[in-house]
Amino acid sequence: MDDTLTSRAGWRDALPTVLGYIGISMAFGIVAKAAGLSTWLIVLISAIDYGGSAQFVLVTMVGSHSSIVAIAFAVFLVNARMILMSMTLAPYFNRYSLWRNIWLGTFVTDESFALGMSKVNVIQNRLSFPWFNTVNLVSYVSWLLGTFLGAVLGGLVTDPSKFGLDFAITAMFIGLLIAQISSDKTIKLALQAAVVVFVLVLIYLFLIFVPKNFVVLLVTICGCLFGMVMKRVFD
């Protein structure tokens, strides 16, 4: 990752995440196909929802004949962390119009957020619309392509875990975490490690006592607060 903010740089920076997107979206396509959904409905879900884990929740709840209200609420809870991510990114785009900001926020994902924060560390607190828009669109197109391939292959592959597809998103997050930690020279490594350990412990504890749909949101909020306090006190 270099210090340029062009569309070409966005393509280059987003490419390492493409295989992860395709892998997990293929797994979604396969799971959704096994649930009895048509290929084009599966692709439509990815195009409109574009929510990663939320899409798996949606398909599972559709299969169990849950109400539309319950499905919508569950999907919202799983994706609510995007509100926090968008609020974090917003100050870097305040020189752009409202509609451009809405456009960027619509396509934000965990991976594009992580790439954006890594870029901020590299180029001293700057981001551009061309760069981030390209990152978002590369991610979106990769997700749709993987979903379509998974839906087509769904009749042939009944167990995604045999091919490691269920680990693709985990591997991608590990790579993004390492990249972000190594690129941020403004925060001590020990402090970053403390936040990572805190988040891991919190996830373990919350999975025992808190409904799964709330875990990601609560851990995100607690992790941000803990990191902010630690930075003010020890950095």
For residue 194, the enclosing domain spans 187-235
Say if residue 66 is in the same domain as residue 174.
Answer: yes
Residue 1 forms part of a structural domain: no
Take residue 38 and report the two structure tokens written for it: 């048509």
pLDDT of residue 184: 61
Q: What is the pLDDT of residues 69-85, one digit of tens each?
A: 778 877 887 787 788 88
46, 94: one domain: yes
Q: Are residues 95 and 198 in the same domain?
A: no
Asked if residue 99 and residue 65 are part of one domain, the reply reads yes
Q: Is residue 27 part of a domain?
A: yes
Q: Model confidence over 172-228: pLDDT tens digits?
A: 567 657 766 765 666 778 888 888 899 899 989 988 888 776 777 788 788 878 888
Domain count of the chain?
2
120 in the same domain as 64: yes
Based on the fold, state whether residues 172 and 91 are members of the same structural domain. yes
> Of 73, 44, 71, which is closest to residue 59 (Cα–Cα)?
71
The rounded distance, in Å, linking the Cα atoms of 206 and 209 is 5
Q: Is residue 2 part of a domain?
A: no
**pLDDT of 63 strictly over 90:** no
Q: How far is CA 191 from the centre of its chain?
A: 23
Q: Taking Cα atoms as reference points, which of 170, 200, 155 lies closest to residue 38?
A: 155
| Co-location of 224 and 121 in the same domain | no
**pLDDT of 134 above 80:** yes
What pLDDT shows up at residue 167?
63
Report the pLDDT value the prediction gives residue 129, as an integer from 0 to 100.
93
pLDDT at 183: 59
Taking a C-beta distance cutoff of 8 angstroms, is the pair 11, 130 a contact?
no
Residue 47, pLDDT > 80, answer: yes
Break the chain down into helix, strand, coil percent, rounded to 5.
Answer: 80, 0, 20
pLDDT tens-digit profile of 1-29?
667 888 898 899 898 888 888 888 888 88
